[in-house]
């Protein structure tokens, strides 16, 4: 069984890999696969928050709902609420975007915004965890 610190590091390592995928895909600029970028941004945010949940000793639920994960954290750290509305925008990129029924393919601007959100959540979590 992994220690708490090992588990936190593993969540962060996996989140960082999602962000690396985003960086690689964004380098294609106009040919970037925006739905993949947005999906990996959502995954990174979910994993950074789950790392923070481990840090706060909160049981992790199997969900892709970022707002729900942040709500679980609010009882122990209300400062995360400042990111809730913005970060929860990425929830729609967790599942629906990967299927043909998805309403719209995100624009490059949407993808860049998702990346900025992911970076802000990463900074928040890394600053808190230390």
Model confidence over 60-89: pLDDT tens digits? 989 889 999 999 999 999 998 899 999 999
Model confidence over 105-127: pLDDT tens digits? 899 999 999 999 999 999 999 99
Six token digits for residue 126: 């890394």
User: How many Cα atoms occupy the beta-carbon half-sphere of 112 within 13 Å?
Assistant: 7
If one looks up domain 4-129 in CATH, what number appears?
1.20.120.330
CA torsion, ordered 73, 76, 77, 82, to nearest 10 deg: 40
More confident residue, 98 or 71: 71
Question: pLDDT tier at 95 (50, 70, 90 boundaries)?
Answer: confident
């Amino acid at each position: 069984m992994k220690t708490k610190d090992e588990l936190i590091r593993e969540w962060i390592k996996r989140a960082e890999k999602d962000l690396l995928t985003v960086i690689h895909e964004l380098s294609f600029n106009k040919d970037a696969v925006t739905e993949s970028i947005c999906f990996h941004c959502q995954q990174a945010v979910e994993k950074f928050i789950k790392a923070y949940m481990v840090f706060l000793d909160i049981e992790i639920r199997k969900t892709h709902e970022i707002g729900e994960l942040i709500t679980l954290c609010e009882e122990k750290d209300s400062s995360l609420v400042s990111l809730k509305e913005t970060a929860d925008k990425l929830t729609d990129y967790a599942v629906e975007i990967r299927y043909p029924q998805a309403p719209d393919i995100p624009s490059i601007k949407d993808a860049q915004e998702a990346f900025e959100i992911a970076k802000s959540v990463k900074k928040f979590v890394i600053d808190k965890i230390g």
